[in-house]
Amino acid sequence: MFSPQGPSPRELAIQALSSVERGYDLLAPKFDHTPFRTPDAVLDATADALRPLGPFGRGLDVCCGTGAGMRVLEALCQGRTTGVDFSAGMLAQARRAHPAAGWVRADVRALPFAGAFDLAVSFGALGHFLPAERPALFAGVYRALRPGGLFAFPLGAPPPVTSGWYWALLGFDLAMRVRNAVWRPPFVMYYRTCPLHAVRDDLTAAGFTVTTVPLMGRRADGSPRYRLVLARKPHAEIDRPYRRPA
């Protein structure tokens, strides 16, 4: 899981007691040696699944971290690629690895772009947002895309209750809830807060048309272990279904 170049248990503990932004600033120099960095196999499977839908013009990596998603954007986008993240430390690593890309420091709950991108991707970051924060995140991605633009991200299926992973993720989330109840600043990272049906509903409410394709792996029941969520911004706002004001 952690290579010898990765963070020590003490460093991880200090990071986990920090805010999300500060925690990633501290982790940044060693982040690529942790299991939190999205593996190339997932990135390549995503690029393969998106290729028939491209080519794309300009690309955005939401919560780019050290720039893992550039592997996908650079393979698919003919225009400029940009990464956005609020951790200056992570962005510094990303800039060093991909000097030709654009790097923007911003909180993605208030994305500072409008109609600028044809493809947006995001990897390994959805658990950092409480369900109540997803509408602002998805509205910002929607705004950032051109009409007809695509927002794509992998989403894992929940492990079955009989598997060790089910209990490991449940234990992690419970530990984080206890940590966040007794310690400030909070570190929001939960594995079990973004089931497909809830994510799909939030994307649809933001105006996207949502489909999924199988991405990687199979569960015992034959369903995909990972799906790629494909959220399309309609070509014209007029396509957007009427929603009665609350």
Point out which residues bind ligand SAM (CB under 6 A): 20, 24, 36-38, 63-65, 68-69, 85-87, 90, 107-109, 123-125, 128
Degrees (nearest 5) of the Cα angle 195, 146, 83?
Answer: 65
CB of 91 to ligand SAM, least distance (A): 8
- In the bound state with ligand SAM, the residue whose beta carbon lies nearer, of 147 and 175, is 175
Place of tokens 């933001």: 206
CB of 106 to ligand SAM, least distance (A): 7
CB of 111 to ligand SAM, least distance (A): 9
- The DSSP code sequence of 108-139 is GGG---SS-EEEEEE-S-GGGS-GGGHHHHHH
Instruction: Write out the two tokens for 218.
Output: 């199979």
Note every long-range contact of 14-17, with CB atoms under 8 Å and residues 24 or more positions apart, other chains counting.
Answer: 16/179, 16/187, 17/179, 17/183, 17/187
Q: Which residue is nearest to ligand SAM (CB)?
A: 65
Chain center to CA of 45: 15
- In the bound state with ligand SAM, the residue whose beta carbon lies nearer, of 68 and 199, is 68
- In the bound state with ligand SAM, the residue whose beta carbon lies nearer, of 27 and 145, is 27
Q: Tell me the CB-side half-sphere exposure of residue 174, using CA atoms within 13 A.
A: 6
- In the bound state with ligand SAM, the residue whose beta carbon lies nearer, of 53 and 188, is 188
CB of 214 to ligand SAM, least distance (A): 20
Q: Contact at 8 Å (CB) between 172 and 93?
A: no
CB of 246 to ligand SAM, least distance (A): 25
- In the bound state with ligand SAM, the residue whose beta carbon lies nearer, of 17 and 240, is 17
